[in-house]
A = this chain, B = another copy of it.
Amino acid sequence: MEKSILITGGARSGKSTLAERLALRPTGRAVYIATAEAYDAEMEARIAEHRARRGPEWHNLAAPLDLVGALEASDGGDPRLVDCLTLWLTNLMLGGHDWRVEADRLVVALSRQQAPVLFVTNEVGAGIVPENRLAREFRDAAGWLNQSVAGACEAVFLCVAGYPIKVKPNEHSF
């Protein structure tokens, strides 16, 4: 198994399910690092739904902001699954943090990890340009973050209708 994997895709493309399956492969146990914060009932329902799908083989951590801290605290054992980078970015931006600085810290921390790390993230830039300026800034930031983490990961997959397309490495890299 690669030591660091990024799984990206659109909404409901099966990213989390694939990531969970991969994360459990080495030892049958894994650490789930949730970046979600329940701002409203809709988000609460999503979190509950995700948690219900996972069983006792998962150790759950919450890291809405301090993702680097959660990775360092959980290193040395089972694989870690970070779900997801776009919610982490949302939390950073809403909290007034500099996401570029945090993204750089994440990339540096990733290079120090012993146990595998899997990241789930979202494709948000393949629709029409949003009219809302904040939405445009968010989709730009999400694109940069995905590129940055993809560059630091050994493998990258794009998930479509529940199935992965290998993006990195592939025979067309240039």
Contacts and interface: CB of A to CB of B under 8 A. Distances in A.
B150 A161 contact: yes
Interface string A5-24: 01011111110001001100
Residue among A128, A136, A162, A164 with max Cβ neighbours from chain B (10 Å): A128
A45 to B, nearest CB: 11
The majority secondary structure among interface residues of chain A is mixed
Number of identical protomers: 3
Given A126-B126, A143-B10, A162 B173 contact: no
A125 B125 contact: no
Contacts of A166: 170-172
| Contact residues on A (Cβ < 8 Å of other chain), bracket | 35 or more
Nearest to A155: B172
A35 interface: no
Interface of A: 6, 8-14, 18, 21-22, 42, 121, 123-133, 135-136, 138-140, 142-144, 146-147, 149-151, 156-158, 160-168, 170-174
